[in-house]
């Protein structure tokens, strides 16, 4: 049997991004689509929230994708099969709202967010919906999990900024084309904040129900510390406790982007120390 929080499998996806299967049986047993975990790489390390892209309750593993963005995520991506995370807490947050629609459901993954939309996509599909996946990447080489996305969704639209595969442009270009052809009634977007904001701006005039999974800075993950506070519909919410999914048309994205930059200086110093 694997050790607690052991990496039982690791796959390098693209430079700086890796997929891990981690032995975390309690999290795997109770996980629901849209929920997340918080992990630490080392005993004195920071706690980082990570979306779940799948789980296996029998094997006791959760599947996560980590992108090396700061010191902790860089250390995490450097771990190998057989290494252990310090700890994994979860499942955290509320599960994604799913429902049976008359029209089309769309899941949009930007970069690492493609993994996160997979469980909600499966849940929407299981309810009998037509589910279209939209994947965004800078170029063909950076498109993630396309094969798996095609297995989950009825149709997949790949968008690349440089036009090397699929629609040239952003995920919003793929979504615009789809909305002209189909009655899109439900959208979930996970990825960089500007991408989620752009998706919300596109669906708002047509009043398409749109959810985004907010990647706020987190500490405890249980609504106690206030680190992850976001403003939604003019009210303060905790992304870890009330989210991570929120109505894209109500989120104050400008504030979220500012809060995400709060520790840029400390992060820079921490990265420099890691490289020493
Ligand atoms: Fe502390 Fe959400 S992480 S309140």
Task: Give the 3-state secondary structure of 210-252.
Answer: EEEECCCCCCCCCCCCCCCEEEECCEEEECCCCCCEEECCCEC
Q: Are residues 141 and 179 in the same domain?
A: yes
Q: Please give the distance of CA 187 from its chain centroid, rounded to a whole number.
A: 14
* Assigned domain for 231 exists: no
Q: pLDDT digit string (tens) for 166-198? A: 999 999 999 999 999 999 999 999 999 999 999
**How large is the average pLDDT for residues 95-112?**
95
CA of 272 to the centre of ligand 1 (A): 27
Shared domain check, 121 and 173: yes
* Same-domain status, 124 and 206: yes
The whole-angstrom separation of Cα 206 and Cα 56 is 38
pLDDT band (50, 70, 90) for residue 96: very high
Q: Is residue 109 located within the same domain as residue 207?
A: yes
Q: Is there a domain that residue 83 lies in? A: yes
User: Whose CA is closest to atom 1 on ligand 1?
Assistant: 225
Q: Is residue 25 part of a domain?
A: yes
**Which residues have a Cβ under 8 Å from the Cβ of 272 and sit 6 or more positions away?**
none
The answer to whether residues 194 and 111 belong to one domain is yes
- Taking CB atoms within 8 Å and a gap of at least 24, the contacts of 263-267 are 263/217, 267/70, 267/71
Phi/psi for 163 (5° steps) reads: 75, 15
Domain that holds residue 36: 7-92
- Here the CATH number for the domain that contains residue 138 is 3.40.50.80
Same domain, 67 and 25: yes
pLDDT for residue 98? 96
Strands (E) located in the chain: 7-14, 17-23, 36-40, 48-56, 61-67, 87-92, 104-110, 130-137, 155-160, 167-168, 184-190, 209-213, 229-232, 235-238, 245-247
Percent of the chain predicted with pLDDT > 90: 86
Same domain, 159 and 76: no
Q: Do 22 and 58 share a domain, yes or no?
A: yes
For residue 186, the CA-to-ligand 1 centroid distance in Å is: 28
d(CA 53, CA 36): 9
- Expressed in angstroms and rounded, the spacing between residue 28 Cα and the centre of ligand 1 is 22
Residue 18 has pLDDT above 80, yes or no: yes
In a domain, 28, yes or no: yes
Assess whether 45 and 74 both reside in one domain.
yes
Task: Let me know if residue 121 belongs to a domain.
Answer: yes
Q: Which residues line ligand 1 (CB under 6 A)?
A: 218-221, 223-228, 238, 240-241
Q: What is the CATH number of the domain that holds 44?
A: 2.40.30.10
Q: Which among 159, 180, 213 is the end of a domain?
A: 213
| Residue 209 resides in a domain | yes
Number of domains forming the structure of the chain: 2
Please state the residue numbers annotated as binding site for [2Fe-2S] cluster: 225, 228, 240
Which tokens belong to 72?
Answer: 């902790």
Domain boundary (213, 246, 262) is at 213
**Residue range 21-68, pLDDT digits in tens:** 999 999 999 999 999 999 999 998 899 999 999 999 999 999 999 999
Percent of the chain past pLDDT 70, that is, above it, reads: 100
| Residue range 130-164, pLDDT digits in tens | 999 999 999 999 999 999 999 999 999 999 999 99
Band (275; pLDDT cuts 50, 70, 90): confident
pTM for the model stands at: 0.94
The answer as to whether 208 is a domain residue is yes
- Which structure tokens are listed for 273? 């120390």
| Cβ atoms of residues 257 and 217 within 8 Å | no
What is the per-residue pLDDT across 218-266, written as a single tens digit (0 to 9) for each?
A: 889 999 999 999 999 999 999 999 999 999 999 999 999 888 887 778 8
Q: What is the pLDDT at residue 265?
A: 81
Quick check: 115 pLDDT over 80? yes
Confidence band of 269 (pLDDT split at 50, 70, 90)? confident
Would the pLDDT of 117 be above 90? yes
Residue 276 has pLDDT above 90, yes or no: no
| Boundary of a domain, candidates 213, 228, 260 | 213
Task: With beta carbons less than 8 A apart as the criterion, state whether 149 and 135 touch.
Answer: yes
* Mean pLDDT of the 86-107 span: 97
If asked whether residues 112 and 180 sit together in one domain, one would say: yes
Whether residue 161 lies inside any domain: the answer is: yes
Does residue 168 sit in the same domain as residue 200? yes
Let me know whether 85 and 186 are in one domain.
no
């Amino acid at each position: 049997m694997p050790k607690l929080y052991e990496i039982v499998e690791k796959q390098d996806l693209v430079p700086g991004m890796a997929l891990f299967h981690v032995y975390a049986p309690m999290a795997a047993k109770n996980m629901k689509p849209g929920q997340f975990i918080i992990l630490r790489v080392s005993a004195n390390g920071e706690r980082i929230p990570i979306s779940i892209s799948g789980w296996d309750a029998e094997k006791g593993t959760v599947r996560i994708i980590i992108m090396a963005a700061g010191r902790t995520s860089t250390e995490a991506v450097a771990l190998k099969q057989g290494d252990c995370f310090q700890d994994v807490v979860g499942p955290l947050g509320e599960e994604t709202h799913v429902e049976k629609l008359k029209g089309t459901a769309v899941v949009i993954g930007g970069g690492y967010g493609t993994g996160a939309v997979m469980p909600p996509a499966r849940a929407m599909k299981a309810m009998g919906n037509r589910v279209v996946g939209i994947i965004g990447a800078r170029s063909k080489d950076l498109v993630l999990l396309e094969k798996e996305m095609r297995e989950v969704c009825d149709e997949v639209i790949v968008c690349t900024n440089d036009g090397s595969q699929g629609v040239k442009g952003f995920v919003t270009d793929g979504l615009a084309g789809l909305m002209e052809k189909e009655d899109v009634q439900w959208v979930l977007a996970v990825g960089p904040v500007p991408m989620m904001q752009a998706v919300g701006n596109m669906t708002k005039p047509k009043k398409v129900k749109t959810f985004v999974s907010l990647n706020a800075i987190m500490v405890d993950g249980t609504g106690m510390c206030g680190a992850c506070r976001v403003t939604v519909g003019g009210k303060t919410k905790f992304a870890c406790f009330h989210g991570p999914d929120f109505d894209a048309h109500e989120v104050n994205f400008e504030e979220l982007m500012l809060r995400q930059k709060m520790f840029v200086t400390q992060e820079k110093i921490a990265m420099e120390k890691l490289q020493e």
